Amino acid sequence: MIITTYPFKQFLIKTFKPVNGCILTMEASILCIETQPATDEAVINLTWPERYISVIAGVKIGFSGIKHLFSSPFGSILKIGAGGYLLNRGLTGHCDLYSMAGKTGTGDVIEAIRTSITVNRPRMEVYDFWRKLENLPLFMSHLKSVEVIDNNLSRWTLKVPTDIADIAWDAEIMGDEPGKMITWQSLPGSMIRNEGKIRFIDTPDGETMIHVAIAYLPPAGGFGAGLAYLLNPLFRKMVENDIGNFKRYMEVGHIAMSEF
């Protein structure tokens, strides 16, 4: 199984390979974005609201430290240092923590994950099983259910540790070539914005090679984008496990509960 990740700004997955060194994006069509050359200058990776908050918080914490400098020297020095960092963060628009996490701009950051695997079943059988979207929770451990609304629309519900509230979103089939390819995307305004594409290809020995690409947009603005870089390895592992479960389900007919 081969799995890689690609950050890009906007998304609609139409292919699985960059074209002419450009990064593919997810809009109504494929766009090419020039990659930014690396420089020694600090890049702006904070949005203006984040910068405003940093400046205000930095000034407030810094003045608090100065005010209590003699009554509480140690705590005041820490406050002055923290205030200075936040003030510099807001004025420059650069956050070192974001940079360490891989966030190098202010635009939406889409995390895309690709994986491929061979399934020992005929191509049409593999396609038919996946196309029945209600089957997806049988091997995707993070899904509670997929409710098919009509031939193209469906409602996906995430499996959460507690039953306080459901996390769900609506998705639409954007492309369907029987036996060859399925593409889908969440509808505008969905709690979790995501898209995916799966291709089904015959192998010389009669098996089926599937290529899967899934992309998601982290919530919570810049903070969510920075957090996504840190959590992406977990998401990548989850996708890898799901596709492995799919292979086992198609070849064996079930998945042991210990594997879920």
Q: Mind listing the pLDDT tens digit of every residue in the chain (260 residues)?
A: 544 444 433 344 343 444 343 333 333 332 332 334 444 456 886 767 778 788 888 898 988 889 888 888 888 888 888 888 888 888 888 877 666 655 666 555 556 788 999 999 999 999 999 999 999 999 988 888 999 999 999 999 988 766 556 778 899 999 999 999 999 999 988 777 788 999 999 999 999 999 999 887 655 555 555 555 555 566 778 888 899 999 999 998 766 544 54
Rounded to an integer, what distance in angstroms lies between the CA atom of residue 200 and that of residue 173? 16
Orientation angle between helical segments 221-252 and 123-131, nearest 10 degrees = 130
Rounded to an integer, what distance in angstroms lies between the CA atom of residue 251 and that of residue 117? 13
- In this structure, the answer to whether residues 135 and 221 fall within a common structural domain is yes
**36 domain-assigned:** no
Phi, psi of 158 (to 5 degrees): -80, 145
**140 domain-assigned:** yes
**3 domain-assigned:** no
C-alpha distances in Å from residue 81, one per residue of 50, 64, 74, 77, 88: 19, 11, 11, 6, 11
- The confidence score (pLDDT) of residue 89 equals 84
**34 domain-assigned:** no
**149 domain-assigned:** yes
| The token pair that represents 191 in the structure block | 């709690």
- In this structure, the answer to whether residues 152 and 60 fall within a common structural domain is no
- The confidence score (pLDDT) of residue 194 equals 84
- In this structure, the answer to whether residues 136 and 245 fall within a common structural domain is yes
Containing structural domain, residue 77 = 48-94
- In this structure, the answer to whether residues 120 and 89 fall within a common structural domain is no
Rounded to an integer, what distance in angstroms lies between the CA atom of residue 260 and that of residue 258? 6
Rounded to an integer, what distance in angstroms lies between the CA atom of residue 36 and that of residue 46? 17
- The confidence score (pLDDT) of residue 83 equals 87
| The token pair that represents 128 in the structure block | 């038919």
Which amino acid is residue 50, in one-letter code?
Answer: E
- In this structure, the answer to whether residues 172 and 237 fall within a common structural domain is yes
- In this structure, the answer to whether residues 88 and 192 fall within a common structural domain is no
- In this structure, the answer to whether residues 87 and 116 fall within a common structural domain is no
Determine contact, residues 92/42, Cβ cutoff 8 Å.
Answer: yes
Number of domains within the chain: 2
Q: Largest Cα–Cα distance in the chain?
A: 79
- The confidence score (pLDDT) of residue 174 equals 95
- In this structure, the answer to whether residues 124 and 231 fall within a common structural domain is yes
- The confidence score (pLDDT) of residue 36 equals 40
pTM, to two decimals? 0.58
- In this structure, the answer to whether residues 196 and 225 fall within a common structural domain is yes
- In this structure, the answer to whether residues 116 and 243 fall within a common structural domain is yes
- In this structure, the answer to whether residues 208 and 83 fall within a common structural domain is no
